[in-house]
C-alpha cells in the first residue's frame, strides 16, 4: 500500500492555557482525559482477567520492599565481619556457629524468594500480556463487524484504526504495569530516602541527591518526547522508506521492478528519504548526549562529595563499613528512583495517548445499521429494485460519483450495467447491497427502503461476485462454502457449484482435490492458483449461495474466452427467476438482458433493451459496434 500522509497517532490536543485563570481548565482537560483513559485501561485489564490486577498489585508491593531489605541484610553481614576483624581473627570452627552464617542463609533465602517471585511474575506477566492483547483484538474485530465501509475510506480514520490495531494490544498492560511500577518505586524511594536522612550529620544529602537527579531525568523525559514527536512528524518518510524497500522484495512487484529496471531508482529514492529522516534524528541523539555529559559532571561531583564524606565517617570510626555500603547504595537508589518516577509518569501518559486511538476507534459511530423493527423480507423470490433520485459521494471527497439515478429492475429481470472505467458501476452495486447508504435519494427493494430491512437478512439475499473478489487462505472447499456459511455444509452442492463454475477440471487435478489448502502463506503444501482459477472459485461461491439477487461485477474478466462462454451459459441457468445485475465489458452479454443501463460519469446516459438502444444509435450503439468490429477483425486475423 502506498504511504499516506503524516497523520498517525492523532489524538485530541488540549489547547495550552491562555492565562493564569485558564490554567484550571487546562489541568482539568489534561488530567480528566488522562483519568478517563486510565480508567478505560483498568476496565480492559479487569475484563481480561481479574487475577492480572491482583498479580500486578502483589508484584508492585514486593518489588517496592525488596531492595531496602537486601541492602539492610548486606549491611548487617559487612558490619558483623568488621566486628570480627576488629576483635582479632577467630578459629575456623567457630564460623559455623557465628551469626554471619545465619545472616548469609537469611540473605540467600531472600535471594531465592526474589528469584522465584521475579520468575513467576515474568511468566504470569507474559501470559497476562497475551490475554490483554486478545481482549483488545477481539474488541477491535467485534467493532469492525459493524463499522461502516465508509469509515475505511477515510484516510485518517484508517490510520487510527491501524494504529489501534498495532499499538493497543500491548499498551494497556504496559500502562498498568508502569503504574504499579510507580507504586513500587515510591516505596523504594521513601525507604532509601529515610536511610539517607538518617546518615549522622549528613541528612542534607537526601534533598541534594534528589535535586541533582531531577535535571537528568527531565532531559531523559523531554528527549524521549522529542524523539517520539520526531518519529511521528517523520511518519511519512518512515512509511516511504518501508514502501521503497518493500517494492524490491515484494513477490508481486518484483516482476515489473526487474523488467523496467526500476531497482536503482527505488534504492535512490529510499536513500534520499532516509537522509532527511536520519539527519534530524542524528541531531536529536547528539544533542541529548551532550546534555547528559554536562549533567553527568555535576552528578559525579556531588556523588563524589557524599561518598567521601561518608567514607570519612568510617575513617574516623563514626560508622561501620556495612553502613558505608548502605548509605552510598542509598544515594544511587534515590537518584535512580527519581529518574524512574519521572520516566514512568511520562511513559504512562504517553501510553494512555495511544489508548485514545483505540477508544476513538471503538466509539466510531455507524450509520449503516439494522432498524429496531425490521420489515419482513421474503425469500426465494425475484425482488424488485428501484433507485429513486440516488446520488452518492465517497466520504471526505467533494465529487458526486453517482448523480440522480432513477431506474427500476423488475423482479426476476436481468440488468446489464455498461460504462467506461470509473463511471460508477461498482459504486452502484455497493449502494444496492447496502454496503454504503446513498448521500441522497432512496433505494427500494420490493417497495421498501433498504434501510427498513435487517442488515444480515438483506445481505443474505445477495449472491455476489466482486471485481476484487476474496481469496481465502483456506481449502478449496472452504473457499466455496464461504458463499453461504449459514447453510449446513453440503459436499454435493459444493461439487455442483465447482462444476458449474468450470472449476472441476483444475480442482480434480489438485493433490487433495476439494481439501487442498490454498496459498502458501500458512501451509507448506498450499497451492497458489492463477487469477483465472481464483475467479472460477469466486463464481463457484456465487453458484453455491442460495441467493435471490445475483450480482456479477466483471465476473469473467480473468477468464479465457472458452471458459467465459461456458460460464455465461451456466449463468443463464443460475439467474432463472432471480433478479440479476451484471457488469461486463463483454457487451455480447448485454444482448440477453432485459435492460441495459449505460452509465457515464455517474449519470444514466441511456437505458433500455439492447435492440432499442442499437436503434437509437447513441452511446451504447457506439460502444457495441466498436467492440464488435474489434472482435471481427481479431477473428479475421486469426
| Cell numbers found for residue 545 | 449461495
CA–CA dist 616, 607 (Å, integer): 11
Contact pick of 75, 344, 403, 425 for ligand ADP (by CB under 6 A): 425
Whichever of 205 and 427 has its CB closer to ligand ADP, that residue is 427
Residues in the chain: 638
Whichever of 148 and 167 has its CB closer to ligand ADP, that residue is 148
Beta bridge partners of 392: 402
- Quick check: 424 binds ligand ADP (CB under 6 A)? yes
**Closest by CA position to 170, among listed 341, 421, 1, 358:** 358
Whichever of 158 and 482 has its CB closer to ligand ADP, that residue is 158
Q: Which stretch binds ligand ADP (CB under 6 A): 120-128, 308-316, 419-427, 457-465?
A: 419-427
CA–CA dist 135, 47 (Å, integer): 8
Whichever of 93 and 397 has its CB closer to ligand ADP, that residue is 397
Contact pick of 67, 382, 419, 483 for ligand ADP (by CB under 6 A): 419
Return the sign of the alpha-carbon dihedral for residues 131, 135, 137, 138: positive
Min CB(464)–ligand ADP separation in Å = 14
Whichever of 291 and 435 has its CB closer to ligand ADP, that residue is 435
Q: Which stretch binds ligand ADP (CB under 6 A): 1-9, 423-431, 509-517, 520-528?
A: 423-431
Give residues 347-406 in contact with ligand ADP (rule: CB under 6 A): 394, 397, 401
Min CB(139)–ligand ADP separation in Å = 25
3-state per-residue secondary structure call for 158-188: HHHHHHHHHHCCCHHHHHHHHHHHHHHHHHH
| 595 backbone dihedrals φ, ψ, rounded to 5° | -135, 145
Helical (H) or strand (E) element with 84:
helix 50-86
Whichever of 514 and 593 has its CB closer to ligand ADP, that residue is 593
Whichever of 289 and 367 has its CB closer to ligand ADP, that residue is 367
- Quick check: 422 binds ligand ADP (CB under 6 A)? yes
Q: Which stretch binds ligand ADP (CB under 6 A): 27-35, 99-107, 421-429, 468-476?
A: 421-429
**Site residue total, ligand ADP (CB under 6 A):** 12
**Closest by CA position to 363, among listed 132, 164, 130:** 164
Per-residue binding string, ligand ADP, 242-261, x by CB under 6 A, is --------------------
Q: Which stretch binds ligand ADP (CB under 6 A): 81-89, 364-372, 425-433, 437-445?
A: 425-433
Whichever of 395 and 412 has its CB closer to ligand ADP, that residue is 395
Contact pick of 77, 209, 326, 423 for ligand ADP (by CB under 6 A): 423
**Closest by CA position to 125, among listed 165, 62, 176:** 176
- Quick check: 552 binds ligand ADP (CB under 6 A)? no
Min CB(436)–ligand ADP separation in Å = 9
| Burial readout 559-594 (b: 16 or more C-beta within 10 A, e: otherwise) | beeebbebbbebbeebbeebbbbbbbebbebbeebe
Sheet holding 402-409, edge to edge: 402-409, 385-392, 440-445, 448-449
- Quick check: 426 binds ligand ADP (CB under 6 A)? yes
- Quick check: 427 binds ligand ADP (CB under 6 A)? yes
Helical (H) or strand (E) element with 561:
helix 561-574
Alpha-helix residue ranges (DSSP H) falling in 198-320: 205-233, 235-249, 254-259, 263-315
CA–CA dist 229, 223 (Å, integer): 9
CA–CA dist 474, 483 (Å, integer): 13
Beta bridge partners of 607: 597
Whichever of 120 and 420 has its CB closer to ligand ADP, that residue is 420
- Quick check: 421 binds ligand ADP (CB under 6 A)? yes
Alpha-helix residue ranges (DSSP H) falling in 379-520: 425-432, 455-460, 476-481, 491-500, 504-509
Q: Which stretch binds ligand ADP (CB under 6 A): 310-318, 417-425, 509-517, 521-529?
A: 417-425
Q: Which stretch binds ligand ADP (CB under 6 A): 403-411, 415-423, 483-491, 501-509?
A: 415-423
Min CB(150)–ligand ADP separation in Å = 8
Whichever of 313 and 425 has its CB closer to ligand ADP, that residue is 425
Q: Which SS3 state, helix, strand or coil, does residue 407 take?
A: strand
CA–CA dist 579, 382 (Å, integer): 5
**Closest by CA position to 585, among listed 407, 450, 416:** 416
Whichever of 5 and 422 has its CB closer to ligand ADP, that residue is 422
Whichever of 153 and 446 has its CB closer to ligand ADP, that residue is 153
Please report, in angstroms and rounded to a whole number, the separation of the first and last CA atoms in the chain: 40
- Quick check: 93 binds ligand ADP (CB under 6 A)? no
CA–CA dist 33, 27 (Å, integer): 10
Give residues 130-169 in contact with ligand ADP (rule: CB under 6 A): 153
- Quick check: 638 binds ligand ADP (CB under 6 A)? no
Q: Which residues bind ligand ADP (CB under 6 A)?
A: 153, 394, 397, 401, 419, 421-427
Amino acid at each position: 500500500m502506498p504511504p499516506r500522509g503524516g497523520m498517525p497517532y492523532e489524538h485530541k490536543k488540549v489547547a495550552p492555557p491562555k492565562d493564569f485563570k485558564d490554567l484550571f481548565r487546562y489541568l482539568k482537560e489534561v488530567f480528566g482525559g488522562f483519568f478517563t483513559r486510565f480508567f478505560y485501561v483498568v476496565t480492559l485489564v479487569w475484563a481480561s482477567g481479574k487475577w492480572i490486577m491482583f498479580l500486578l498489585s502483589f508484584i508492585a508491593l514486593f518489588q517496592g520492599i525488596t531492595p531496602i531489605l537486601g541492602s539492610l541484610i548486606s549491611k548487617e553481614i559487612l558490619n558483623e565481619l568488621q566486628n570480627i576483624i576488629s576483635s582479632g581473627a577467630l578459629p575456623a570452627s567457630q564460623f559455623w556457629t557465628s551469626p554471619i552464617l545465619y545472616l548469609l542463609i537469611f540473605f540467600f533465602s531472600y535471594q531465592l524468594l526474589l528469584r522465584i517471585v521475579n520468575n513467576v511474575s515474568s511468566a504470569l506477566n507474559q501470559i497476562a500480556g497475551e490475554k490483554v492483547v486478545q481482549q483488545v483484538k477481539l474488541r477491535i474485530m467485534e467493532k469492525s463487524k459493524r463499522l461502516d465501509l465508509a469509515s475505511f475510506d477515510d484516510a485518517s480514520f484508517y490510520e487510527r484504526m491501524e494504529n489501534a490495531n498495532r499499538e493497543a494490544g500491548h499498551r494497556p498492560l504496559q500502562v498498568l504495569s508502569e503504574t504499579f511500577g510507580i507504586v513500587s518505586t515510591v516505596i523504594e524511594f521513601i525507604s532509601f530516602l529515610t536511610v539517607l536522612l538518617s546518615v549522622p550529620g549528613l541528612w542534607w544529602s537526601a534533598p541534594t541527591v534528589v535535586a541533582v537527579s531531577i535535571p537528568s531525568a527531565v532531559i531523559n523525559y523531554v528527549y524521549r518526547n522529542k524523539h517520539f514527536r520526531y518519529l511521528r512528524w517523520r511518519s511519512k518518510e518512515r512509511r516511504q522508506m518501508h514502501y521503497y524497500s518493500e517494492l524490491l522484495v515484494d513477490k508481486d512487484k518484483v516482476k515489473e521492478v526487474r523488467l523496467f529496471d526500476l531497482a536503482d531508482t527505488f534504492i535512490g529514492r529510499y536513500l534520499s528519504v532516509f537522509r532527511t529522516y536520519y539527519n534530524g534524528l542524528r541531531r536529536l541523539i547528539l544533542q541529548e548526549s551532550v546534555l547528559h555529559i554536562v549533567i553527568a559532571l555535576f552528578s559525579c561531583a556531588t556523588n563524589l562529595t557524599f561518598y567521601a564524606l561518608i567514607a570519612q565517617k568510617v575513617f574516623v570510626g563514626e560508622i561501620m563499613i556495612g553502613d558505608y555500603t548502605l548509605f552510598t547504595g542509598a544515594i544511587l537508589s534515590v537518584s535512580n528512583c527519581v529518574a524512574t518516577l519521572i520516566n514512568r509518569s511520562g511513559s504512562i501518559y504517553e501510553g494512555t495517548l495511544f489508548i485514545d486511538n483505540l477508544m476513538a476507534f471503538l466509539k466510531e459511530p455507524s450509520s449503516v445499521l439494522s432498524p429496531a423493527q425490521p420489515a419482513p423480507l421474503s425469500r426465494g423470490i425475484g425482488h424488485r429494485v428501484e433507485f429513486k433520485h440516488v446520488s452518492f459521494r465517497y466520504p471526505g471527497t467533494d465529487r458526486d460519483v453517482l448523480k440522480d439515478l432513477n431506474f427500476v429492475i423488475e423482479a426476476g429481470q436481468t440488468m446489464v450495467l455498461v460504462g467506461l472505467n470509473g463511471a460508477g458501476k461498482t459504486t452502484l452495486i455497493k449502494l444496492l447491497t447496502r454496503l454504503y447508504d446513498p448521500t441522497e435519494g432512496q433505494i427500494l427493494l420490493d417497495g421498501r427502503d433498504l434501510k427498513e430491512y435487517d442488515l444480515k437478512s438483506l445481505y443474505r439475499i445477495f449472491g455476489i461476485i466482486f471485481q476484487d473478489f476474496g481469496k481465502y487462505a483456506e481449502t478449496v472447499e472452504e473457499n466455496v462454502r464461504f458463499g453461504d456459511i449459514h447453510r449446513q455444509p453440503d459436499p454435493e452442492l459444493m461439487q455442483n457449484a465447482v462444476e458449474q463454475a468450470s472449476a472441476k477440471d483444475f480442482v480434480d487435478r489438485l493433490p487433495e482435490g476439494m481439501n487442498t489448502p490454498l496459498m502458501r502463506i500458512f501451509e507448506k503444501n498450499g497451492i497458489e492458483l492463477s487469477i483465472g482459477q481464483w475467479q472460477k472459485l469466486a463464481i463457484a461461491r456465487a453458484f453455491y449461495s442460495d441467493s435471490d439477487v445475483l450480482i456479477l461485477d466483471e465476473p469473467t474478466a480473468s477468464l479465457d474466452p472458452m471458459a467465459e462462454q461456458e460460464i455465461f451459459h451456466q449463468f443463464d441457468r443460475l439467474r432463472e427467476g432471480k433478479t440479476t445485475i451484471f457488469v461486463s465489458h463483454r457487451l455480447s452479454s448485454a444482448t440477453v438482458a432485459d435492460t441495459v443501463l449505460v452509465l457515464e460519469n455517474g449519470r444514466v446516459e441511456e437505458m433500455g433493451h439492447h435492440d432499442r438502444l442499437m436503434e437509437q444509435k447513441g452511446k451504447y450503439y457506439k460502444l457495441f459496434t466498436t467492440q464488435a468490429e474489434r472482435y471481427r477483425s481479431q477473428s479475421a486475423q486469426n
